[in-house]
Structure 1
């Protein structure tokens, strides 16, 4: 099939690569404009652009994909189908209708439960046991289109956003290729979403990562995993930002104030929460490298009774 691919970050690269390897003709790739990054503000290509250029695929980087001149340029490619994976812009109806089979989206959750910008992270934060990929026929709404195919991916008890992201990227790539075969064979079936079962997975902010010790240890441990590696969960130690990369739940109830360090062992710093305690295992103090707590305690003295936050 002649595929018009629209995607931007690492999550989308696996899907683009699988489409190419499956023998489909990618007639064009649409990705977000390049942006300056890092201290030197060097302009870096998006991950999808890098993959497209490896295969000499034409790349389009419109600031606004909904502009008529952009749509007309893409129309000249005469795609059979549009494939969208974490593109980053809302597509207008004219673009959704342009390919012969319309546009499908590789969505990082089992719809309809998690619609929106951050479904992978919120599945971890909310303590879901399973996530997955849904391939849906796109419509004008945000992740509201008819579902075509799904695959489940279990969420491990130590799953982070980063690890689940990578699993779903692979699963999505495989499912998308299978779905394209269904289009070729004319065996596609569509299922409408039940809007009453949907949640909107709002975009993450750095502020969301501030650890509130008035919540339970279970909730906070999930938050830490769901925000790893970005934007990360954090608190403060002696006036300096302390990022928390890994923690365990301690069910024991301690006396003391919320956020108080109630125990220090050779490899953990235990902090009182509203229910149980959080044993910090991997942290990063402002100005220092990320490290396990055992290594951290060899260079920094932390005592019971100190408070975080």
Structure 2
């Protein structure tokens, strides 16, 4: 099949690689978000998907909006049979959806209808789900509500961060996407409507969403920190500045117990209180500094008794 692949970040790269290598499909172009400025020098940086397409001499389309007339005209000229999507990041209008013969199919990193939206992996970890997965579905106008071609499951490990879980899902999900396109081409695969029950939503995570609430139970705080790692990064305030906090470990409350947010520096660990147990901090990153162990940070900061994270 003639394929126009839509995706932008690193998580979409495994899917594009498999499609490029597949003898059954011809990737005639890639659709990605416009190149953005990044890093301290604020230089324009090619997206990971765009870079891979460049390496293989594949045309890269980067419209400001996928509703731009110039993009729609080019898409019609390319005449794709199908357009697979993995984390593209743009809203597709009906005019674009109507162009491919088999429509647009999306690889979504949840077991639909659970966790529709932009941050399904973060939501699954934060909710304490034990199992998640990926779904390939037909894109319709309603958010992540189209009929599903197939799913695969993945266990959420106790130490999983959003980053580690997404890395695994991007690889196994790529194989699911390729099998789905193979089945559609062969005419042996039919999408089934999503169940009406079990719908939940996972909106985009903001930096403000990543602020830690130490008045919550330790289990909830620990899950939230893993869900926000590596992006946007869980954080709290210390002495009026943001302190990023990497995954932590739940430990027994010391004696005397630590109030929520209060710090206690011991010889080999730094503890912080929650509504239930205490947390042992792993790595932290003070504003304008590199990541370091919590013990090294505490020695440099010279934390006094009663100081807290808020």
The answer, yes or no, to whether TM exceeds 0.5 is: yes
CA distance in 2 between partners of 1:195 and 1:90 (Å)? 24
Judged with a 3 Å threshold, the aligned counterparts in structure 2 of structure 1 residues 219 and 305 are, in CA distance, closer, same or farther, namely same
Superposition pairs for residues 253-272 of structure 1, below 5 Å? Answer: 255-261=257-263, 263-272=264-273
Q: 1:204: which partner in 2?
A: 205
Q: 2:105: which partner in 1?
A: 104
Q: 2:158: which partner in 1?
A: 157
Contact 2:82 2:103 in 1 (8 A): yes
Q: 1:31: which partner in 2?
A: 32
Superposition pairs for residues 1-309 of structure 1, below 5 Å? Answer: 1-23=1-23, 24-252=25-253, 255-261=257-263, 263-309=264-310
Contact 1:117 1:202 in 2 (8 A): yes
Superposition RMSD on alpha carbons, in Å? 1.6
CA distance in 2 between partners of 1:260 and 1:295 (Å)? 18
Unmatched 5+ stretches in structure 1: none
- Give 1:250 shift: 2.3
Contact 2:270 2:295 in 1 (8 A): no
- Give 1:80 shift: 1.2
**Greater Cα shift, 213-222 or 266-275:** 266-275
- Give 1:221 shift: 0.6
CA distance in 2 between partners of 1:267 and 1:242 (Å)? 20
- Give 1:297 shift: 4.0
Contact 2:259 2:275 in 1 (8 A): no
CA distance in 2 between partners of 1:285 and 1:60 (Å)? 39
Q: TM-score, normalised by structure 1?
A: 0.94
Aligned length: 308
Structure with more of its chain in strand, by fraction: 1
- Give 1:251 shift: 4.3
Contact 1:213 1:272 in 2 (8 A): yes
Judged with a 3 Å threshold, the aligned counterparts in structure 2 of structure 1 residues 162 and 256 are, in CA distance, closer, same or farther, namely closer
Q: TM-score, normalised by structure 2?
A: 0.94
Contact 2:270 2:298 in 1 (8 A): no
CA distance in 2 between partners of 1:281 and 1:289 (Å)? 14
Contact 1:32 1:63 in 2 (8 A): yes
- Give 1:256 shift: 4.8
Contact 1:138 1:145 in 2 (8 A): yes
CA distance in 1 between partners of 2:286 and 2:211 (Å)? 14
Find the residue that maps to 2:177 and give its secondary structure. Answer: helix
Contact 2:184 2:190 in 1 (8 A): no
Find the residue that maps to 2:300 and give its secondary structure. Answer: coil
Give the ranges of 4+ consecutive aligned residues of structure 1 lying more than 6 Å apart after TM superposition: none
- Give 1:298 shift: 4.5
CA distance in 2 between partners of 1:101 and 1:62 (Å)? 22
Contact 2:9 2:48 in 1 (8 A): yes
Q: Deviations over 1:14-59 (max 9, x none)?
A: 1111101112210111111111222322111111110111111111
- Give 1:87 shift: 0.8
- Give 1:124 shift: 1.2
Contact 2:258 2:278 in 1 (8 A): no
Contact 1:29 1:57 in 2 (8 A): yes
